[in-house]
Structure 1
Amino acid sequence: MIQTGHWFKIDFGQRLITCKYRRVCYHTSWSQNYSGLGRFVPQDIDPRLCTHLIYAYGKLQNNRILTLLDNDIENFKIFNDLKYGYPELKTLLAIGGWSAGSYEFTKTVESSSNRQVFISSTISFLREHNFDGLDLYWQYPSNKHRGGRPQDKQNFVLLVKKWVAEYWVSLGAPKQLLNIGLATFGRSFKLATSYTGIGASATGQPRKGEHTKQASILSYYEARWMISEGYGGCTVWSLDLDDFNQICPSSKRKYPLVTKMAEILLEAENRSLPTQSPRSATRTTAKPASVTKDKQHTGKPGYTHKPNYPGKKYIPTEKNMVIPTN
């Protein structure tokens, strides 16, 4: 899927809404392994906040996309079922990330035959699991320290040039086709001295997040600048690092950062955040299977019915858990 930056329409009951700005939000599959109130699952997503949701990550292996975690298939279903209440919501699957490195990407793009296998198999995989598009999150082409080769950049161009060459040429890639990346996390570090100004030296092991357990990653932006500059929207990494459970004493609501971003962009479109699912939403896929979680995760926004997902409990282990450091 390629978003062109053109306006698209959503029917909320009797109101015909025109959307200009994209609000792209990442969901990280490994956040289900965070401890306590930091644990985040697809049922925690509030689809009112985003126009596009990206599931991170799938796995690239032998020129094909595979699942990364044991329960990805189940979570793909829950993730994409959010479109039942929000039929204009778009969902994408991301592959890559810091932990993936470059090796598999390098192999995939190095020959025409490998690129063709990737393209055809990817389309089938995305359609099978009801995704609308793909996010290529390669970090980074040509980086030899991550398994890359000098020819990666040109080969990567050949890969993406196959959904999109004439398209980009005809549009000239104006600003309104670009999204500005925003973060809901902070980086921590330990200062070497008492000096706290710009350029202060750091030393020692950075503090780990209480819930994420990742060194230097602490879950907590600004959006009016991108409107004044004429960009087409925001991309947020990531939903689970915002205060989705409203545990910060200063938080007056859930998702304070992503909600603020959404409100600013919606305000620029002269409208407000919808308070409920569209009454006119129609299902475009098969009836969802009976698969979910505990009671506190039922009845989330975005469903035209009360979801019910009983099933075996997923127990994360070191073997099936991959946590990128980016």
Structure 2
Amino acid sequence: MARMINLTISILFTLSALAYSEVNCNKTQADGKVVCYFAAWANYRKPPYNYDIDSISGDLCTHVIYSFIGINEKTSELESIDPEYDYVRKGYEKFVSLREKWPQLKVLIAVGGWAEGGAKYSNMVSDEGRRQKFVTSVVSFLQKYKFDGFDLDWEYPGATDRQGKYADKENFLKLVKELRTEFDKHNYILSAAVPVAKFRLQEGYEVYDLARLLDQIHVMTYDLRGNWAGFADVHSPLYPRSFDEYAYEKLNVRDGLQLWVSMGTPKHKLIVGVPFYGRSYTLGSKDNNGLKAPIKKWIGGGQAGPYTGESGILAYYEICTQVKSNNWTRKWDDVGKVPYAYYQDQWVGYEDEESMQIKMKFIKDEGYGGAMTWSLDLDDVNGVCGKKDGLLQVINENIKGYKVNVPDPSEMTTTAKPSPTWWTQGSTVASTRQSTTSSSSSSSSTTKAPSVQGGSTSKPTSEEDSVSKDIDCSNASVQFVPHPTDCSKYYWCVHGKPMVLNCPPGTLWNPNGNRCDWDYNVKSANCNNI
């Protein structure tokens, strides 16, 4: 009997091992990625924080991305944004030559950025001939300068507040398909920097299809709060807090990534963005300095840093030096898992080595593809607060040796595409990278509307509004029309037909900006008039 039991156990063990082997035989593993954006304009900063290509610690990154190149408005071909740096000072050649020192390093270039706007990109993708010129110029550029790949950083397709159009969503997918076809001939990497706000995805991203075309997806899980919100808060909270509501309820790192996953994106392709800078504010009162403290929104953010020189933005090295010297008081968001600090009426939410460690553990525990940084020049690049490149060091120490599970390609192609859906009201908000991705060395305004932009709110009402028949959408240039009687509603003109939508709770339609805005920013007597 004992022999029979042992034999049975042995057979069961063998069968279990075979079954496990069969289940996992189609699964492979890939190395975790550390994707590092290089902001070319950082070389213009005053010493000792003028950051150039030779400042890059290529051994701490797996991919480095040159930011940015633009496109020509007339020809739709690639065009240098800073010819002096790119050509005269040979920025492209020097960047690619990083591979000579670090042969395993992948070097890419990004097109777009916040300062480029959206009109040129919307016009380019709308025409097959223009798209072809763009694709041809991209391939020629990559071949000439020997880059390994190309990063799409159009902010954002379909965004009406960024000169986008309704058709951008479909046309952007066409562009990515056409790039994929050509890139496969040369084994180029194709990636994109993407947002996490639901309304941005609804407006411009065919997530399921893009996830199968792009090699990696750089998720901008930062700038989730800012001066536009009207209160002080950290801008990259890992988890939702009890006071997050309405537009901010799901706007955090965990839920933003889960949104992409729920729409069919394989986790291994999602590279989680972490900021090397803080979003700053001027408090309404220096005595009220906690999370969600009132701010003087009209000022446009906190005081400019001595080196970055932009209101509302501070580099990590501008923050850590003040905290280390005890000039600023550091506090901790226990739920969001990020620090903030204040001094008199100045307040900043940021990342430090402690929060970065927590985020890296989250990435590995959840099985995401790695980490992405914006941007290298904003780290503790001179080691004044600790290790040189302290934040990047934490990322590298955690991701180095990390293996990501990659599903079999057949699983990705046979996975059912999620049904189209309109987003619920409680999760729409404008999220930007305006200051941190500016392609100019000069300062730019950082104040942005805090609100939900037109065409991006809730599900259309199931029944046509009784006054819809009187709304004129025949003019193709007209995208939004105020509701004549209800300030909480507006019309979105889609293919010449009016679609009535509701603004999220607590907001009203603002015809001056074509968006749903906080009620205190809208004069109800004028909300129905342009």
Q: TM-score range by the shorter chain?
A: 0.7 to 0.9
Cα distance in 2 for partners of 1:96, 1:137 equals 5
DSSP 3-state at the match of 2:172: helix
User: SS at the partner of 2:165?
Assistant: coil
Tell me, what secondary structure is at the counterpart of 1:38?
A: coil
Q: 2: distance between equivalents of 1:31 and 1:243?
A: 14
Taking the aligned partners of 2:100 and 2:291, their CA distance within structure 1 comes to 49
Following superposition, the deviation at residue 144 of structure 1 comes to: 2.2
1:91 equivalenced with 2:107 (yes/no) = yes
Secondary structure of the structure 2 residue equivalent to 1:30: helix
2:389 matched residue in structure 1:
255
* C-alpha separation in 2, matches of 1:48 and 1:80: 14
Query: What is the match of residue 379 of structure 2?
Result: 242
Q: Is the 8 Å Cα contact of residues 158 and 167 (structure 2) preserved in structure 1?
A: yes
Cross-structure match for 2:409: none
The aligned counterpart of 2:276 is: 184
Structure 2: distance between partners of 1:35 and 1:112:
44
Q: Pick from 202, 212, 222: which aligns with 1:168?
A: 212
Cα gap change, 1:234 to 1:85, in 2 (>3 Å): same
**Cα gap change, 1:212/1:223 in structure 2, threshold over 3 Å: closer, same or farther?**
same
Question: 3-state SS of the aligned residue for 1:188?
Answer: strand
CA deviations over 1:52-76 (Å, ceiling 9, x no partner): 0000000111311111111213111
CA RMSD of aligned residues (A): 2.5
Partner of 1:72: 86
- The structural deviation recorded for 1:113 is 1.0
For the pair 1:26 / 2:37, whether they are aligned, the reply is yes
Residue 288 of structure 2 aligns to a residue in which SS? coil
Aligned to 2:365: 228
Q: Which moved more, 1:160-169 or 1:98-107?
A: 160-169
CA deviations 1:233-253 (Å, max 9, x no partner) are 11100000001112x3x31x2
Aligned pair partner of 2:311 in 210, 215, 221:
215
Q: Report the Cα distance in structure 1 between the residues aligned to 2:295 and 2:35, rounded to whole angstroms.
A: 33
Q: 1:39 to 1:158 in 2, by over 3 A?
A: same
Check the 8 A contact 2:112/2:153 in 1, yes or no. Answer: yes
Structure 2 counterpart of 1:316: none
Give the equivalent residue in structure 1 for 2:67.
Answer: 56
Q: Does the 8 Å CA contact 1:30/1:323 hold for their aligned counterparts?
A: no
Q: Equivalents in 1 of 2:149, 2:291: separation in Å?
A: 41
Distance 2:114 2:444 in 1: 5
Question: Secondary structure of 2:138's partner?
Answer: helix
Amino acid at match of 1:24: V
Equivalent in the alignment of 1:265: 399
Contact 2:176/2:210 (8 A) holds in 1: no
- The structure richer in helix per residue is 2
Query: Against the structure 1 CA distance between its residues 320 and 115, is the aligned structure 2 distance closer, same or farther, given a 3 Å change threshold?
Result: same
SS at match of 1:55: strand
Match of 2:138 among 122, 133, 138: 122
Residue aligned with 1:36, SS: coil
Residue identity opposite 1:50 in structure 2: C
**Greater gyration radius:** 2
**3-state SS, counterpart of residue 97 of structure 2:** helix
Match of 2:168 in 1: 152
SS at 1:258 equivalent: helix
Query: How many residues are aligned here?
Result: 259
> Is the Cα contact below 8 Å between 2:271 and 2:371 reproduced in 1?
yes
AA aligned opposite 1:31: A
Identify the residue that residue 291 of structure 2 maps to in structure 1: 198
Q: Aligned partners of 1:173, 1:268: CA distance in 2, in Å?
A: 20
For the structure 1 residues 169 and 254, does the alpha-carbon distance in structure 2 shift closer, same or farther, using more than 3 Å as the test? closer
- CA distance in 1 between counterparts of 2:167 and 2:138 reads 23
SS in 1 for 2:291: coil
In structure 2, the partner of 1:111 is 127
CA contact (8 A) 1:99 1:324 kept: no
Structure 2 residue 175 is the aligned partner of structure 1 residue 82: no
Are the aligned partners of 2:125 and 2:175 in contact in 1 as well (CA < 8 Å)?
yes
Q: Do the aligned partners of 2:177 and 2:213 also contact (CA within 8 Å) in 1?
A: no
Q: CA shift at 1:149, angstroms? A: 1.2
Q: Kindly state the Cα deviation for residue 49 of structure 1 after the two structures are TM-superposed.
A: 0.5
Structure 2 residue ranges without an equivalent (≥5): 1-26, 182-208, 216-263, 317-355, 404-438, 447-530
CA gap of 1:139–1:166, structure 2 versus 1, over 3 A, is: closer
Q: Verify the 8 A CA contact 2:211 2:265 in the aligned structure 1.
A: no
Q: What amino acid is the match of 1:139?
A: E
Q: Measure how far apart 1:320 and its partner are.
A: 7.1
**TM-score, normalized by length of structure 2?**
0.46
C-alpha contact (below 8 Å) 1:25/1:54 kept by paired residues: yes
Conserved? CA contact 1:97–1:138, under 8 Å: yes
| Identity in percent | 31
How far does residue 166 in structure 1 lie from its aligned partner after superposition?
10
Report which structure shows greater RCO (CA 8 Å, sep ≥6). Answer: 1
